[in-house]
Amino acid sequence: MIQAAIFDLDGLLVNSEPLWRRAEAAVFGTLGISLTEAELAATTGIRLDEVVRIRYRLQPWSSLSLPEVENAILEELETLIRQEASATPGAEAAIAFFETREIPLAVASSSPLRVILAQLNRLGMLPAFKAICSAESEVLGKPYPGVYLRAAEALGQEARECLAFEDSLPGILSAKTAGMKVVAVANSYPAEKLTVAHRVVPTLEG
């Protein structure tokens, strides 16, 4: 029986994946790295420090340290969040569905905590969540299960009693490896690429 629900954030509750891609494109562009939409989309759901390491490995630069690049991307992203972040279709209704049934909620995101809080505060969603977990606190980010296991622990539940909502393949694998049932929402990827989840739905609406 489901005792708790755990939500990814970027692309799942908040329409922020385009903002991430814009922030990354802008900062990597200053380093002489031009990225296509497909290249930017390929790292959806992966922790930012890992994304920066991937880009550096493929096209090394010398002007900034990797942590400085990460911080520049986060600063650009937070500006975009404050100006433009919006909820995905059905996000508020999905949260309300569990709240009215007194089922505790958590966020398990690859984003740094500062970005998670910026988005939840922007959309007024923060009070709905009993636990906020960032993969930046884990040794390994998604697709490894650490952030989902931490979220279940924070809610006082066994992982097998939690229902996870995800929009990316790394996130689905993370939650499944943790032992959770997973609903994939086809906000960021085509539905046919998410069939490893237990169920795939087009949006959170309904």
Name the residues annotated as catalytic: 8, 10
Instruction: Match 């007194």 to its residue by tokens.
Output: 102
Instruction: In whole angstroms, give the CA distance from residue 180 to residue 99.
Output: 20
Collapsing DSSP to helix, strand or coil, 126 comes out as helix
Nearest to 147 by CA among 134, 157, 158, 156: 134
Partner residues linked to 183 by β-bridges: 165, 199
Beta 105-109 vs 4-7: how paired, if at all? parallel
Collapsing DSSP to helix, strand or coil, 36 comes out as coil
Beta 4-7 vs 162-166: how paired, if at all? parallel
